Amino acid sequence: MASFSPHHPLPEEGARDPRATRWLDDWADRANDLGVGWDEDGKLRGACWAREVQPARLAEPSGRQVPELLIAVSADWRGRGIARQLLEGLFAAARVEGWATVALTVSEKNDAAARLYRDVGFVEHEQSEELLVMSYAL
**Please, what is the Cα angle at 130 between 124 and 134, to 5 degrees?**
20
What is the extent of the structural domain holding 28? 2-97
pTM, to two decimals: 0.78
Whether the pLDDT of residue 126 is over 70: the answer is yes
Rounded to an integer, what distance in angstroms lies between the CA atom of residue 105 and that of residue 137?
A: 15
HSE-CB at 5 with a 13 A cutoff on CA atoms is 7
Q: Is residue 123 part of a domain?
A: no
- Give the pLDDT confidence of 25-41 residue by residue, as tens digits: 666 566 678 889 998 88
pLDDT of residue 127: 73
Whether the pLDDT of residue 66 is over 80: the answer is yes
Helix or strand or coil: residue 21? helix
- Give the pLDDT confidence of 5-24 residue by residue, as tens digits: 444 555 566 656 656 666 66
Q: Is residue 113 part of a domain?
A: no
Q: Comparing 21 with 60, which gets the higher pLDDT?
A: 60
Q: Is residue 121 part of a domain?
A: no
pLDDT of residue 2: 36
Q: Is residue 132 part of a domain?
A: no
Q: How confident is the model at residue 61 (pLDDT cuts 50, 70, 90)?
A: confident
Rounded to an integer, what distance in angstroms lies between the CA atom of residue 80 and that of residue 39?
A: 13
As for how many domains the chain has, the answer is 1
Q: Comparing 3 with 27, which gets the higher pLDDT?
A: 27
Q: Is residue 104 part of a domain?
A: no
Helix or strand or coil: residue 101? strand
Q: Is residue 111 part of a domain?
A: no
When pLDDT is averaged across residues 36-61 and rounded to a whole number, the result is 87
CATH code, 40: 3.40.630.30
